[in-house]
Amino acid sequence: MTTYAEQLTAMMAKRNWSQGDVAQKIGMSHATISAFISGNYAGNVEKLTGKIINLINRENKKDGMTCVSTGFVMTETAKQMLFVSDIARDDGDISVICGGAGLGKTSFLMHYARENPGSILIETDPSFTARAMLEGLCRKLSLDVKGNMHVLTEAVIKKLQNSGRVLLVDEAELLPYRALEVIRRIHDKTRIGVVLVGLERLVTNLKGRRGEFLQLYSRVGCCLKIGNELPADDIRAIAGQLIDGDDDDLMATLYEKSGGNARRLSKLLRGAIRMVETNNKPVSTTIVREFAKYLID
Ligand SMILES: Nc1ncnc2c1ncn2[C@@H]1O[C@H](COP(=O)(O)OP(=O)(O)OP(=O)(O)O)[C@@H](O)[C@H]1O
Ligand SMILES: [Mg+2]
């Protein structure tokens, strides 16, 4: 994955811009741009990243490329996810985050993994077995072990003991019970923090349909339910990276048409920006409504 600093450096080379040129274009100081590129910017990284993304998107548009991307925005919902993840990490606890599709769970986890180099991010898929998960963990921990599940589990436990690391599991609702049990054992033996993230049925999976897995569920410290839609301010914060976040009508329309869903919002924004690309006008409520007709309900 290319970082925004890398994208900016590539854009600077293409346009023959100096750091001073970039600074002037986005109204920041030369030192700020230099720090951003070297990954040492100590100020409000999100705000600065937003300005840089806007610049890159604008320039790409000039080249006829529709390349609209948003950086990660620390929304109120993301702040709550951060809170329970930090508790898991700092207290060696299990935290659960669950909520509807397209609300920013994976985006948050990827951000958290970037910010916490000690974290181990597991991306689950529907074919995941306990063994596949353990093998994936061994690979991430650079463990070259062969053997049965017990051997793999013990190797992982040995490696993670007193490591202060945190295990992040995305789409954890897809994990079979045995895999969840392996995670519980690793947690019990190493006390590393675990963050399980998934759709709402994850909570049912953790309890067992008839409450038969309560031993596992009782280890969960915090459970954050983010529901099925984001609050209007979150939608405004994400949209504000690409378009004028102070336009209340536009923001209200985006909230209505996105249904509070970040994935739908990003499709809406991409489509609306594409629609206005040719006439170089800003995105308006009419354009958003126009493009929303193309989105499936
Ligand atoms: N905090 C955020 N900042 C910027 N963009 C975001 C943020 N959260 C979500 N998005 C946008 O919404 C899209 C969908 O988010 P994401 O894939 O993280 O949702 P999810 O909750 O993991 O969904 P699913 O349950 O289907 O996996 C992202 O690709 C991104 O464009
Ligand atoms: Mg996801």
| pLDDT tens per residue across span 68-89 | 566 889 999 999 999 999 999 9
What residue owns the CA closest to ligand 1's atom 1? Answer: 73
171 C-alpha to center of ligand 1: Å? 13
pLDDT tens digits for range 168-217: 999 999 999 899 999 999 999 999 999 999 999 999 888 887 777 888 88
Nearest Cα neighbor of 109 from 97, 100, 101, 91 is 97
85 C-alpha to center of ligand 2: Å? 16
In Å, what is the CA distance from 85 to each residue of 4, 140, 164?
Answer: 25, 20, 13
**Listed range (26-30, 70-74, 131-135, 157-161) with the worst mean pLDDT:** 70-74
Kindly tell me if the per-residue pLDDT of 261 is higher than 80. yes
Largest interatomic CA distance in the chain: 64
Structure tokens at 225: 């339910």
Backbone angles phi, psi at 284, to 5 degrees: -120, 170
- Between residues 226 and 211, the one the model is more confident about: 226
Q: Are 181 and 77 in contact (CB under 8 A)?
A: no
101 C-alpha to center of ligand 1: Å? 8
d(CA 68, CA 66): 6
Mean pLDDT across 22-47: 90
Type of residue numbered 250:
L
CATH no., domain 1-67: 1.10.260.40
Structure tokens at 116: 């916490």
Residue 102 Cβ inside 6 Å of ligand 1? The answer reads yes
Q: State the helix-helix crossing angle for 285-292 and 262-277, rounded to 10 degrees.
A: 110
The ranges assigned to domains in the chain are: 1-67, 76-227, 230-297
Q: Are 76 and 176 in contact (CB under 8 A)?
A: no
d(CA 103, CA 80): 13
d(CA 174, CA 202): 8
Pick the CATH number of 76-227 from 3.30.540.10, 3.40.50.300, 3.30.70.360, 1.10.10.10: 3.40.50.300
Residue 205 Cβ inside 6 Å of ligand 1? The answer reads no
